[in-house]
Amino acid sequence: MSSGYNAESEARGKLRAARRIVIKLGTSTVTDAAGDVCTQRVEPIVDGISQLLEAGRQVMLVSSGAVGLGRSLLGLHPSRLKDMAVKQACAAAGQSLLMESYKRLFDARGRKIAQILLTEEDFSNWGRYSNLRRTMEKLLGFGVLPIVNENDTVSTAELESVDGGRQAAFSDNDRLAALVMSGMEADALVLLTNVDGFMRGRGGQMQAELEPFVQRVTSEIRAAAGPSRGAPIGRGGMKTKIEAAEIAMNCGGVALIANGSNPVIVESAFAGERIGTVFAPAARMRGKRRWLAYAAGVRGRVVVDAGAQRAITAGKASLLNSGVVRVEREFGSMDVVSIRDLNGREFARGIAAYASEERNANGKKAAARVMFARENIVVLEAAG
């Protein structure tokens, strides 16, 4: 057997052995063409999740679909969703329908559920992030299935494109699922969509072909990740799923992208069968550094010189005021800041020791002043 096949087999073995799991359902899986809950697809997934729970595994479900259900309920044309207030109104109307459907399905199988609606601040603020983890741990301990979605009624982080002023902790439910997986230190992330997995072109004809195994997410894979063909209401695509899988990998977990229309997809995935695209775990990033790399909302941006970059990446040193070439985006004390090289490539993130105005006021005279302490800097494996 080739080493590649052995690595894939090992990754699928980790999926089979996973005890704490995050499963994400996309809009194209949850809803049908009319905008209603597609019980034909959702019910078998509910059966699979119930079997996992019966086997003593802990499961968290991240589910899209509220906006689509709300739009159908209100009788609105999809074009109306270009208006943010309309989207939020649809989310408000549809979320209760989504949870009502899940409650009915899981009640029939003797399973308790809990609704978790999150905003960007639940991840970008360390205190709220810690509180979220404690609450989720209690629910799992009680044998309850948490069902997670973004609180679209009050938050626009997922509904709109991120502007140049800041970088959101998450902007789609794929990344939200990966952040839940990271925060809860889950073993596996399963993203169910309307395609068989990561498809990329082969040969001169560039015909789509399933890639069953990814050892490392390369620039080639990112470039090949086009949007999924799905309902126009869905906000994700293959690109966001690849990004979510990469977060899972760097958190030491295994990820799988698979087709949610397969009626035995959950059972097959956790039996280790060769379906979908599996992503191998990488070295685990721990604790607050993991939060800083993936969950924290980035508020500022600085460019540093080559010497400072070497000190941070090689020596894991603190970043001094003298190493900062310029501040490209202002920030406050304790804000998370993107640290970039002279070419504008992000290679690290840090928690600021003081506000950018203080640095500007002091200039570079305070050469030895620590701008980002070593323990509050994380070097990113995948920059940019």
- Beta strands 20-25 and 188-193 are parallel
Check whether residue 100 and residue 39 sit in a common domain. yes
- Whether 25 maps to a domain, the answer reads yes
Phi, psi of 66 (to 5 degrees): -65, -45
Residue with tokens 């992503």: 279
Q: How far apart are CA 39 and CA 17, in angstroms?
A: 28
How is residue 48 written in tokens? 């699979």
- Which of 252, 269, 289 terminates a domain? The answer is 289
pLDDT category at 289 given cuts 50, 70, 90 is confident
Domain that holds residue 329: 298-379
Number of domains in the chain: 2
CATH code for position 259: 3.40.1160.10
Query: Can you tell me whether residue 49 is helix, strand or coil?
Result: helix
Check whether residue 90 and residue 117 sit in a common domain. yes
Phi, psi of 102 (to 5 degrees): -65, -40
Query: What integer pLDDT is reported at residue 209 of this predicted model?
Result: 87
- List, for residues 150-167, the tens digit of each pLDDT value: 887 776 554 443 344 445
- Whether 169 maps to a domain, the answer reads yes
Q: How far apart are CA 275 and CA 272, in angstroms?
A: 8
Please determine, for residue 8, whether its predicted confidence score (pLDDT) is greater than 90: yes
Could you tell me which residues come within 8 angstroms of residue 127 by beta carbon, excluding any fewer than 6 positions away? none
Check whether residue 285 and residue 306 sit in a common domain. no
Q: Chain-wide mean pLDDT for the chain?
A: 86
Phi, psi of 24 (to 5 degrees): -115, 130
Check whether residue 235 and residue 196 sit in a common domain. yes
Check whether residue 207 and residue 113 sit in a common domain. yes
C-alpha to C-alpha distances, 325 to 12, 70, 266, 341, 343, nearest whole angstrom: 46, 49, 51, 9, 12
Q: How far apart are CA 2 and CA 212, in angstroms?
A: 14
Q: What is the mean pLDDT of residues 28-49?
A: 94
- Vertex 276: Cα angle to 203 and 264 (nearest 5): 145
Give the percent of the chain with pLDDT over 70. Answer: 86
Query: What is the end-to-end Cα distance of the chain in Å, rounded?
Result: 36
Contact 251, 187 (CB under 8 A): no
- Which DSSP string corresponds to 259-286? ETTSTTHHHHHTTT-S-SEEE---PPP-
Check whether residue 308 and residue 367 sit in a common domain. yes
- Whether 174 maps to a domain, the answer reads yes
Check whether residue 187 and residue 250 sit in a common domain. yes
- List, for residues 204-238, the tens digit of each pLDDT value: 444 678 999 999 998 889 888 864 444 444 455 89
Range 199-207, long-range pairs (CB < 8 A, 24+ positions): 199/238, 200/224, 200/225
- List, for residues 99-115, the tens digit of each pLDDT value: 999 999 999 999 999 99
Query: Can you tell me whether residue 324 is helix, strand or coil?
Result: strand
Between helices 173-183 and 238-250, what is the axis angle to 10°? 10
- Whether 17 maps to a domain, the answer reads yes
- List, for residues 318-346, the tens digit of each pLDDT value: 999 889 999 999 999 988 999 999 999 99
Query: Can you tell me whether residue 139 is helix, strand or coil?
Result: helix
- Which of 289, 315, 337 terminates a domain? The answer is 289
- Which of 289, 321, 339 terminates a domain? The answer is 289
pLDDT category at 126 given cuts 50, 70, 90 is confident
Check whether residue 231 and residue 104 sit in a common domain. yes
Identity of the amino acid at 245: A
Identity of the amino acid at 227: P
Please determine, for residue 1, whether its predicted confidence score (pLDDT) is greater than 80: no
CATH code for position 343: 2.30.130.10
Neighbours of 130 (CB within 10 A): 13
Check whether residue 8 and residue 60 sit in a common domain. yes
Identity of the amino acid at 246: E
Check whether residue 168 and residue 146 sit in a common domain. yes
Check whether residue 332 and residue 282 sit in a common domain. no
Identity of the amino acid at 158: E
- Whether 71 maps to a domain, the answer reads yes
Contact 146, 116 (CB under 8 A): yes
- Which DSSP string corresponds to 342-363? TTS-EEEEEE-SS-HHHHHHHT
Could you tell me which residues come within 8 angstroms of residue 6 by beta carbon, excluding any fewer than 6 positions away? none
- Whether 384 maps to a domain, the answer reads no
- Vertex 22: Cα angle to 21 and 27 (nearest 5): 150
Query: What integer pLDDT is reported at residue 204 of this predicted model?
Result: 43
How is residue 42 written in tokens? 């959702």
Check whether residue 156 and residue 274 sit in a common domain. yes
Reported as type and span, the H/E element at residue 116 is strand 113-118
- List, for residues 138-149, the tens digit of each pLDDT value: 999 999 999 999
Among the listed residues 271, 252, 251, 250, the one whose alpha carbon sits nearest the alpha carbon of residue 262: 271
Could you tell me which residues come within 8 angstroms of residue 176 by beta carbon, excluding any fewer than 6 positions away? 24, 62, 118, 148, 150, 158, 170
